[in-house]
Amino acid sequence: MSENPYVNKPWLKSYDDDVPYELGYPEINISKFLDDTTKEFGGRTAIWFLNHKVTYKKFKDIAERVATALVNLGVKKGDTVALMLPNMPQFPFSFYGVQKAGGIVTACSVLHTEHELAYQLNDSGAEIIIAWDTQLEKINNVKDRTRLRHVIITNIFDYAPMANPLGKREPPEIAGTIQFLNLVNKTKPNPPKFETNAKEDVAVLQYTGGTTGLPKGAMLTHFNLVANCMQMYEWTKSIAERGKVTAVTTLPLFHIYGMQVCMNSFIYSGTTIALHPDPRDQKGLFEVIKATHPAMLPGVPTMYMRLLERDDLEDYVKDLKHIKVCNSGAAPLPPEVLKEFEERTGAIIVEGYGMTEASPATHVNPFKGTRKVGSVGLALPDTEYKIVSIDDYTKIMPQGESGEIMIKGPQVMKGYWNKPEETANQLKDGWLLTGDIGMMDEDGYLFIVDRKKDMINISGFKVYPRELEDVMFEYEAIENAAVIGLPDPNAAGNEIVKAFVVLKDGYRESDEMKAEIKEFLRKNVAPYKVPKQIEFRKELKESLVGKVLRKELKDVEARKRGEEV
């Protein structure tokens, strides 16, 4: 491979003064974060949930009871335990319990279908699952097709007695399951002793979305997770002093962004985590903010969009003033949304970038220095990146030109679980091929152009859906938009642009509106980028972290053409 022309790492000159270029990372089990923070801030509230508080000391005690119980149920070092929980205290209790037992966590979405759940349980080899009791029917329906031996269930009220109309819970045992609360209460904490090889031992098997083929389990080691938490802390320490702040966690903890940015990094820094169970419940989110006065609110673009749509936003602006910074990640943030949110709330949104395979964070905009709107910022300490040709990853593109992003750093995964071929396709001499197209500017800031697989080819011209969608968000009638490429029926190998549009209230779906949108776009983008087709939708299906599922739109169109998907 040709030498990296950015050996001078141009992004370093834009770092905030208090952020080091390099760090030393201890080779530890990630559960040591909880031990160290408990020593320093044992009496501090670790988790706030439905007005119930759990101190770091109590958190550690419960995690060690969970670890002991898991060992008693047969968990050995290197065994996988599945978690299928929304944002409630039982998720961090279980996560750290599994780590203290020497196990590997695989987190399952509570939105998984039976098919998706069975696949992940079988692929990961999990024999124990700790789950929200509402998921029991789903689990029972797939249990016989998996290696599951034990199903541990828990209720939203188990650690929220003040929210439970019946007061303190003593859950009845259900045949074929074990009640989490009863198990914890009857187990004395006696976690096993074992050695952790931090760079080799997998802490988390995190399954990627599976937008192409079946989902793959990214093997994230203890070293990967520990390094990424420390990188993020160094970036934010000017506003997130250890043991001093509260942060809202509304993003799902079973997603890598929630798990790392909104749980592990906060535990490392002794932050109080205010848990909110449903990111789509904006009223509830406002109430959590009002009750806890957080300094940090990590989010995703759709969350900020939905908050802006609320008629009662102004009622909560004084509470939002406590927030020093909002992170945005997981999907591109339209500049119009950032601008309006900041104007109306006074909060600052700092956009970043990452992916499951990088534990996840690789880039963030500076907190005090130049924040470039539209950019995902600078590479974190000890992280390198380069832009390579879309067709040949050994060819490095000059600054200012777009290509595929490659990343190297201590947070990059060990590989994909039981998938050596896919691992070899993504990891090249320690560099991760991301599948994302980006551009590095003259100052080393990264701009995301789009996903490689979403690029549209029109007579040799490249159209990036994200660029077009950002422009569409500027049109007054459009609430949400997604762009895909379809085969051109008149030219084999070519594509045409199709846009799916959700209109704001008060605007009517009509041919005239389609014409107005096209006219607006003609004034703002090259003619070949203007959609040939526009379809109105009442809503666009999104993932839990706010990414519009373009693949589903493509599948619907393929079925219309009579193709199998």
Q: Which of 21, 86, 8 lies closest to 50 in space, CA to CA?
A: 86
Average pLDDT over residues 316-339: 86
Residue 549 covered by a domain: yes
* Signed CA dihedral, 425, 428, 432, 436: sign only: negative
Residue 140 covered by a domain: yes
Number of Cβ within a 10 Å radius of residue 324: 17
Residue 470 covered by a domain: yes
Point out the least confidently predicted range of 195-209, 256-270, 387-401, 531-545: 531-545
Boundary of a domain, candidates 131, 166, 195: 195
Average pLDDT over residues 430-459: 90
Would you tell me the crossing angle of helices 335-345 and 313-320 to the nearest 10 degrees? 80
3-state SS track over 293-310? CCCEEEECHHHHHHHHHC
pLDDT bucket at 1, cuts 50 / 70 / 90: very low
Long-range contacts of 418-421 (CB under 8 A, 24+ apart): 418/123, 418/217, 419/216, 419/217
> How far is it, in rounded angstroms, from Cα 462 to Cα 455?
7
Q: Which of 491, 500, 487, 490 lies closest to 533 in space, CA to CA?
A: 500
Boundary of a domain, candidates 195, 229, 262: 195
- Write down the pLDDT at residue 15: 96
> How far is it, in rounded angstroms, from Cα 229 to Cα 332?
22
Could you read off the pLDDT of 154-175 as tens digits, one per residue? 999 999 988 777 767 788 999 9
Total domain count for the chain? 2
Residue 158 covered by a domain: yes
Q: Which two tokens stand for residue 221?
A: 């080691």
> How far is it, in rounded angstroms, from Cα 166 to Cα 14?
55
Please check the confidence at residue 2 and state whether its pLDDT lies above 50.
no
Task: Answer whether 88's CB lies under 8 Å from 50's CB.
Answer: no
3-state helix, strand and coil shares in percent for the chain, rounded to the nearest 5: 35, 25, 45
Question: What is the bridge-based pairing of β-strands 296-299 and 272-275?
Answer: unpaired
Task: Answer whether 409's CB lies under 8 Å from 358's CB.
Answer: yes
Where helices occur in 346-400 by DSSP H, the ranges are none
Q: Which of 82, 36, 84 lies closest to 60 in space, CA to CA?
A: 36
Residue 187 covered by a domain: yes
Please check the confidence at residue 99 and state whether its pLDDT lies above 60.
yes
- Write down the pLDDT at residue 269: 97
- Write down the pLDDT at residue 4: 47
> How far is it, in rounded angstroms, from Cα 351 to Cα 355?
14
Which CATH number is 536's domain given? Answer: 3.30.300.30
Question: Residue for token digits 């009750």?
Answer: 291
pLDDT bucket at 147, cuts 50 / 70 / 90: very high
Average pLDDT over residues 137-141: 97
Average pLDDT over residues 108-136: 95
Boundary of a domain, candidates 160, 195, 230: 195
Which CATH number is 132's domain given? Answer: 3.40.50.980
> How far is it, in rounded angstroms, from Cα 548 to Cα 331?
9
Residue 245 covered by a domain: no
- Write down the pLDDT at residue 213: 62
- Write down the pLDDT at residue 133: 97
Please check the confidence at residue 60 and state whether its pLDDT lies above 50.
yes
Average pLDDT over residues 8-29: 95
- Write down the pLDDT at residue 5: 46
Long-range contacts of 142-145 (CB under 8 A, 24+ apart): 142/114, 142/117, 142/118, 145/118
| C-alpha distances in Å from residue 69, one per residue of 174, 396, 423 | 18, 52, 34
- Write down the pLDDT at residue 297: 94
Contacts of 27 (CB under 8 A, 6+ apart): 196, 197, 198, 199, 222, 223
> How far is it, in rounded angstroms, from Cα 143 to Cα 132?
15
Residue 473 covered by a domain: yes
Residue 177 covered by a domain: yes
> How far is it, in rounded angstroms, from Cα 553 to Cα 486?
10
- Write down the pLDDT at residue 401: 96
pLDDT bucket at 209, cuts 50 / 70 / 90: low
Structural domain boundaries, residue 549: 461-560
Average pLDDT over residues 369-385: 95
